Amino acid sequence: MAVNEQKTGAENLIQALTELGVDTVFGYPGGAVLPIYDALFQQTVIKHILVRHEQAAVHAAEGYARSTGKPGVVLVTSGPGATNAVTGITDALLDSIPVVVLTGQVATHLIGSDAFQECDTVGITRHCSKHNYLVKDPERLADIVHEAFHIATSGRPGPVVIDIPKDVQVARAGYRKRSALHNGYKLQLKGELKDIEAAVEMLARAERPILYTGGGVINSGNGASQLLRELARVTGAPVTSTLMGLGAFPAASPQWLGMLGMHGTYEANMAMNECDLMLCIGARFDDRVTGRLDAFSPNSKKIHIDIDRSSINKNVKADLGIVGDVGHVLEDMLKIWKARAHKAVDQKAWFAKIDAWRKKDSLGFRQTGKEILPQYAIERLYEATKAKAPIITTEVGQHQMWAAQHFHFEGPRKWLTSGGLGTMGYGLPAAIGAQLGNPRSLVIDIAGEASILMNIQEMSTAVQYRLPVKVFVLNNEYMGMVRQWQQLTYESRYAESYSQALPDFVKLAEAYGWKGIRIDDVDGLDAGIAEMIAYDGPVFVDCRVAKLENCFPMIPSGAAHTEMLLNPSDVKGELDEDAQALV
Amino acid sequence: MRDLGPIRRHTLAITVDNESGVLAKIVGLFSARGYNIESLTVADITETHDVSRITIVTSGSQEVIDQIEAQLDRLVTVHKVSDLTELGPHVEREMALLKVTGGGDKRLEAMRLADIYRARVVDATIESFIFEITGSTEKVNTFIALMREVGLVEVARGGVVAISRGKDPS
């Protein structure tokens, strides 16, 4: 091909994205990405979604990725475009979400000169991305894009950043698509057979087994969720899950214990504490899950399946670690279980214990009077929408935990939340991304009145693309989780946790072109929810709830699973200094 | 916290893609996760200049060292991580250049000590020597301490490089 027939970098980029099956890009234009936007303008395959803030572009891409299983793609400009995206990139890293972020950069000859809208994007994102690139050679652009998608989506998924200087976008160059520029990049999908055999034998002998599952089951693909169900069926073991893994196992199953951890159910945490065999499947023993480490499940053997070798033995020592993809390992486990004709040990005594814990009714609440309890609002929302199998996103805080506790999921990819980083402002853009990836689904952001304001500008994005997302705000006029901790730890000194000067959310919604609904008391709750569902377009529901309700059960930071607070009467109002230092 | 066991010194050999940012990624991993770097050397080692070998001396309990290895191993640019200390016998060498000034007895004593430690003179003036010494970290430390007594004014050290003994590559 003659030089003048070669495509520009921007055109090569579009070709690579097209070949990779990208149909949606979330972005915001700027000086350093104008050539790419011009190339986007002249094609029809890839739809560009104009967000209102680059952080939201990444969360939208995460919502798209987590709800569809395909990688999310982001396009932002240099400097502030890139730095605004950093929170989203870090969020995707902590929750292992496959996202490719394309950032514009000043021309290569200007790099390092403190040029206008220049920042060291690869330097800034080096430790918050799975991998990143600065494309200096136009001939390598297409190669890099192909490899970046491979890295973002394979192994433990994560965000990959490609920083593209403006001159590289303009330069004409050849098109190649190798995806193995880094031949040191290792993938281990199959687990070691002898370890899997050992795991099966341990499981077959366990009298009090538990399956502790996490986001890795969902990342492994829908097949992995099916295999998990099959494993639960043949072993008869009870199943609990982290926040990130909700939906991988159906909540309707009698073996389901609910979420575990800091705000998990009594039965899930007590079963973790008293099990004799813990099979951890694609979870990572996060501090929210384990509580105080030296008191964590003291008498159990622990098997840990994880695709990331560094997760094994990081926080909790595993008796048996299996490095591999959850789907592959579960498949092998089931094959071996069946080939050896294992029968599960009788677990009647174990389930009798579990049933006794269940009787504590740790998620119980009493809705009396007209004031809506937030738990009740979620319960009613769940009852009204469950037949539609909605996709639920959340912001971060009390409402997120109540949603995790009181909304129930029967399948994967229906629950999108910021778990690891805990990013307020995640839910609305994630709902937008999920709605774009699932046009026919009901998508609801269960939000708090404080979190929603962190990316409220995205209401415009929903209007522009006619996305019928619903925002359901549990408005208690407090940053409720902060206030709850202040009540528990700082003798109710509510420093800066009151949501002062809130807007009139109904008017705000209407100003953006949304439908706004206010629900003031229980009499209006079901009707308000019904009106929200019935409306063909974006709806913002301002649901006024009890202001000082706390999220229980709760294991305070640094406490053991057995030291769970079940209701307000367990609260002392202060913690010792060691506990205060923990988050 | 768990009992993390005794702290030991480990020498790690890491082969990586020789491209910009790799060293920053590895050094950043150590600082972000609170691991220790006692010594670090890096140079490209292939004819085509596409692979570098980084030698890091670090210390920690066995669990911490295992975690460091696992964290390094999952980086896209890392080909291989070898814990030479765990693998068994290996050779470790460090090089240093020492500038020693002065005359008379001190100058003579510096020469004598250099001879005993098999340090070479690589530059000399009427008032100074530059010695080159190669050996274990301990030997280099001892030689530097001795030279302080006889007019040492400047030291440049290379950090540890290491390789496993025997015919097999590490």
- Domain B8-87 fold is Alpha-Beta Plaits (3.30.70)
**Is the complex ipTM more than 0.85?**
yes
> CA–CA separation, B131 vs B123, rounded Å?
7
Contact A74, A114 (CB under 8 A): no
CB spacing of B32 vs A314 below 8 angstroms: no
**Fold: same for B8-87 and B90-164:** yes
3-class DSSP assignment, residue A103: strand
CA nearest neighbour of B64 among B27, B86, B33: B33
Residue-wise pLDDT tens digits, A275-330: 999 999 999 999 999 999 999 999 999 999 999 999 999 999 999 999 999 999 99
Greater pLDDT, B124 or A176: B124
Least confident range of A197-211, A294-308, A559-573, B50-64: A559-573
Predicted pLDDT at A103: 98
Which comes out higher in pLDDT, residue A489 or A405? Answer: A405
Q: Averaged over A70-78, what is the pLDDT?
A: 98
Q: Are A522 and A545 in contact (CB under 8 A)?
A: no
Query: Hey, what are A532's tokens?
Result: 């929200």
pLDDT for A2 equals 52
Taking contacts as CB-CB distances below 8 angstroms, the residues of chain A near B21 are: 122-123, 126, 132, 134
Q: What is the pLDDT of residue A4?
A: 59
Classified by CATH at the fold level, domain A193-358 comes out as: Rossmann fold (3.40.50)
Residues of A in contact with B53 (CB under 8 A): none
Nearest beta carbon to residue B21 from set A126, A130, A310? A126
Tell me whether residues A314 and B67 touch, CB distance under 8 A. yes
Closest CA–CA distance from residue A249 to any residue of chain B (Å): 29
- Rounded to 5 degrees, φ, ψ at A434 are -65, -40
CATH superfamily of B90-164: ACT-like. Chain A, domain 2 (3.30.70.1150)
> What pLDDT score was predicted for residue B1?
42
Q: Measured between alpha carbons, how far is A247 from A237 in angstroms, rounded to an integer?
A: 17
Distance CA A536, CA A433 (A): 18
Asked if A120 reaches chain B (Cβ–Cβ under 8 Å), the answer is no
Which candidate in A147, A306, A309 is best for mutational testing of the B interface (most B CBs within 10 A)?
Answer: A309
Task: Return the pLDDT at A349.
Answer: 97
Percent of chain A at pLDDT exceeding 90: 93
Every domain of chain A with CATH number 3.40.50.970 lies at 3-173, 374-551
| pLDDT, position B3 | 55
Nearest residue of chain A to residue B32 (CA atoms): A127
Interchain proximity B2–A294, CB inside 8 Å: yes
Q: How far apart are CA A444 and CA A425, in angstroms?
A: 14
Average of per-residue pLDDT across A83-108 = 98
The residue extents of the domains of chain B are: 8-87, 90-164
Query: What per-residue confidence (pLDDT) applies to A582?
Result: 76
Q: Is A128 on the interface with B (CB under 8 A)?
A: no
* B112 residue type, one letter: R
Interface test with B, best of A127, A140, A179 (most B CBs within 10 A): A127
For B14, the closest chain A residue by CA position comes to A184
> Contacts of residue A156 in chain B, CB cutoff 8 Å?
74
Tell me which chain B residues have a C-beta less than 8 angstroms from the C-beta of A131: 76-77
pLDDT along chain B (170 residues), means of 10: 77 96 96 95 95 97 95 96 95 98 94 97 97 97 97 97 93
Instruction: Show residues of chain B in contact with A313, CB under 8 Å.
Output: 63, 66-67
Looking at the predicted structure, is the pLDDT value of residue A557 above 90?
no
Task: Please state which CATH number belongs to domain A374-551.
Answer: 3.40.50.970
Overall residue count recorded for chain A in this entry: 583
Find residues 182-211 of chain A whose CB sits inside 8 Å of chain B. 182-186
Span A538-553, pLDDT tens digits: 999 999 999 999 999 9
Binned at pLDDT 50, 70 and 90, residue A186 comes out as confident
Instruction: Say if CB A350 and CB A273 are below 8 A apart.
Output: no
Instruction: Show which residues of A are catalytic.
Output: 54, 116-117, 166, 481
d(CA A559, CA A441): 40
Which residue is associated with the tokens 């991304």? A433
Chain B residues with beta carbon closer than 8 angstroms to that of A130: 76
Specify the CATH architecture of the domain A3-173.
Answer: 3-Layer(aba) Sandwich (3.40)
Nearest to B74 among A123, A132, A308 (CB): A308
Q: Is A151 on the interface with B (CB under 8 A)?
A: yes
Distance CA A253, CA A410 (A): 9
Q: How far is B112 from chain A (nearest CA, A)?
A: 49
The model carries a pTM of 0.96
